[in-house]
């Protein structure tokens, strides 16, 4: 198959969908890869590196898309880019199935087979394709570095001739993929870490990373669904949780929040009152900003200072570590391409649970039920889902 890899057009996006390292895997399977000139440079991959790996490089527009059977991207295409994707072409990317649904109506009408990386099931077989996990790993790591940079204190304990420095105290709220990586990173640079999640099953993982698990008496079945994802908690649970977080926040130098519930606004867990009670100079990095934020004072994409507490809510944080974020994402995408076209040509086998789950549009139809329902109701929020 002819594969096209465009330069990402979204503001601030530095990642690229395919890196030179994975090209051999694709060409071995009989694919030809054409990369738009400059597509990888913001992530540290030169045109020459792609050419050396066996890719063709081309200009944007018709040159890139002509004869393309597959278009591999990081972010959603804009309207101009959608117009260039031909009928029967496979489009793979982080297409944000919960965002503006009109994209999928257009893709279906154009006959594009669109596959959204967010919809890869969280199963063992699909692990190689799990871009949510790979990008969350990047985000959790980077959040700690952002916090350490903003904090006017050391993270590690130091014993120097000028006295002993006590280690920073970090509270991580939400111990999913991003939270666990944040715990590991904060521990690696010497902080004392406490972590909290409503799913009691993560307690052992938190402890194995050398952090203390802060417990709230939540029944496991109330906290997570059959797929292992967090459920939205009752108002009473959230109130008790906020009280608990308030108590732990008072002693923290840094709070990293990562709490998400699929298809819902992020739970609001750190109140303005809690921020007011924190030590001056403390730092909150809110990774849930794209879903509304876990802190009441979060402004997504901005840094605000309230009562001498700095609240940072970076958006598209994985793009800040573009080299490795691209490398990991490219491996996820190449694994999906291999599944979709194992012998060089497309085998759209909907009895495969991964293909059935990721495919949003095919054969002129919207296959993904929540997207179909949202289009039918024409309500941008109805049936919001991963």
Point out which residues bind ligand NAD (CB under 6 A). Answer: 122-124, 127, 130, 132-133, 136, 173-179, 196-199, 228-230, 233, 241, 258-262, 267, 269
Choice among 122, 187, 188, 265 that is catalytic: 122
How near is the Cβ of 358 to ligand NAD at its closest, in Å?
Answer: 14
Structure tokens at 323: 């080299």
How near is the Cβ of 217 to ligand NAD at its closest, in Å?
Answer: 13
Residue among 37, 3, 42, 33 nearest 325 (CA): 42
Using the minimum distance from each CB to ligand NAD, give the nearer residue, 71 or 328.
Answer: 328
Determine the Cα–Cα distance for residues 173 and 160; give it in Å rounded to an integer: 32
Using the minimum distance from each CB to ligand NAD, give the nearer residue, 43 or 178.
Answer: 178
Determine the Cα–Cα distance for residues 150 and 170; give it in Å rounded to an integer: 13
Choice among 127, 205, 271, 385 that is catalytic: 127
Determine the Cα–Cα distance for residues 13 and 252; give it in Å rounded to an integer: 32
How near is the Cβ of 177 to ligand NAD at its closest, in Å?
Answer: 4
Using the minimum distance from each CB to ligand NAD, give the nearer residue, 3 or 209.
Answer: 209
Active site residue 25: no
Choice among 69, 130, 253, 286 that is catalytic: 130
How near is the Cβ of 236 to ligand NAD at its closest, in Å?
Answer: 12
Using the minimum distance from each CB to ligand NAD, give the nearer residue, 65 or 196.
Answer: 196
Active site residue 130: yes
How near is the Cβ of 87 to ligand NAD at its closest, in Å?
Answer: 33
Using the minimum distance from each CB to ligand NAD, give the nearer residue, 124 or 149.
Answer: 124
Using the minimum distance from each CB to ligand NAD, give the nearer residue, 3 or 334.
Answer: 334
Contact residues for 138 (Cβ-Cβ < 8 A; gap 6+) = 317, 318, 321, 324, 325, 328
Determine the Cα–Cα distance for residues 202 and 213; give it in Å rounded to an integer: 9
Residue among 107, 130, 72 nearest 367 (CA): 107
Active site residue 127: yes
Determine the Cα–Cα distance for residues 173 and 190; give it in Å rounded to an integer: 18
Active site residue 353: no
Determine the Cα–Cα distance for residues 216 and 204; give it in Å rounded to an integer: 15
Residues linked to residue 72 through DSSP beta bridges, in sequence order: 92
Choice among 58, 133, 224, 327 that is catalytic: 133
Contact residues for 217 (Cβ-Cβ < 8 A; gap 6+) = none
For 249-252, the CB contacts below 8 A with 24+ separation are 249/171, 249/274, 249/275, 249/277, 249/278, 250/277, 250/278, 250/279, 251/169, 252/169, 252/170, 252/171, 252/194, 252/278, 252/279, 252/282
Using the minimum distance from each CB to ligand NAD, give the nearer residue, 154 or 213.
Answer: 213
How near is the Cβ of 332 to ligand NAD at its closest, in Å?
Answer: 11
Active site residue 243: no
Name the residue number minimizing CB distance to ligand NAD.
Answer: 176
Contact residues for 248 (Cβ-Cβ < 8 A; gap 6+) = 171, 194, 196, 214
In this structure, the dihedral spanned by the alpha carbons of residues 208, 214, 218 and 222, taken in order and rounded to 10 degrees, is -60
How near is the Cβ of 120 to ligand NAD at its closest, in Å?
Answer: 9
SS3 for 305?
A: strand
Which residue numbers are catalytic?
Answer: 122, 127, 130, 133, 229
């Amino acid at each position: 198959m002819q594969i096209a890899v465009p330069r990402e057009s979204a503001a601030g996006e530095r990642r690229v969908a395919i890196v030179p390292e994975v090209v051999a895997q694709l060409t071995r399977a009989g694919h030809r890869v054409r990369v738009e000139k400059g597509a990888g440079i913001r992530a540290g991959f030169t045109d020459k590196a792609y050419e050396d790996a066996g890719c063709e490089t081309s200009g944007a527009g018709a040159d890139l898309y002509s004869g393309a059977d597959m278009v591999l991207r990081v972010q959603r295409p804009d309207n101009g880019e959608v117009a260039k994707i031909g009928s029967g072409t496979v489009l793979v990317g982080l297409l944000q199935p919960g965002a503006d649904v009109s994209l999928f109506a257009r893709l279906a009408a154009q006959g594009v087979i669109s596959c959204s990386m967010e919809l890869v099931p969280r199963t063992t077989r699909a692990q190689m394709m799990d871009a949510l996990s790979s990008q969350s790993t990047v985000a959790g790591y980077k959040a700690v570095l952002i916090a350490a940079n903003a904090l006017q204190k050391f993270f590690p304990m130091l014993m120097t001739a000028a006295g002993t420095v006590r280690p920073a105290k970090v509270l991580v709220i939400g111990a999913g993929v991003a939270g666990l990586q944040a715990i590991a990173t904060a521990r690696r640079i010497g902080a004392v870490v406490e972590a909290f999640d409503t799913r009691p099953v993560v307690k052992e993982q938190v402890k194995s990373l050398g952090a203390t698990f802060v417990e709230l008496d939540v029944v496991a079945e109330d906290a997570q669904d059959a797929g292992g994802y967090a459920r939205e908690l009752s108002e009473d649970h959230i109130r008790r949780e906020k009280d608990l977080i308030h108590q732990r926040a008072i002693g923290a130098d840094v709070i990293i929040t990562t709490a998400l519930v699929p298809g819902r606004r992020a739970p609001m867990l750190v109140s303005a009152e809690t921020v007011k009670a924190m030590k001056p100079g403390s730092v909150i990095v809110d990774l849930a900003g794209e879903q509304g934020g876990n802190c009441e004072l979060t402004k997504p994409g901005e840094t605000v200072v309230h009562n001498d507490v700095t609240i940072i809510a970076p958006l598209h944080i994985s793009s800040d570590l573009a080299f490795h974020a691209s490398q990991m994402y490219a491996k996820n995408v190449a694994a999906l391409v291999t599944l979709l076209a194992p012998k060089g040509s497309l085998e759209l086998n909907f009895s495969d649970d991964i293909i059935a789950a990721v495919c949003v549009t095919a054969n002129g139809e919207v296959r993904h039920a929540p997207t179909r329902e949202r289009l039918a109701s024409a309500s941008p929020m109805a049936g919001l889902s991963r």
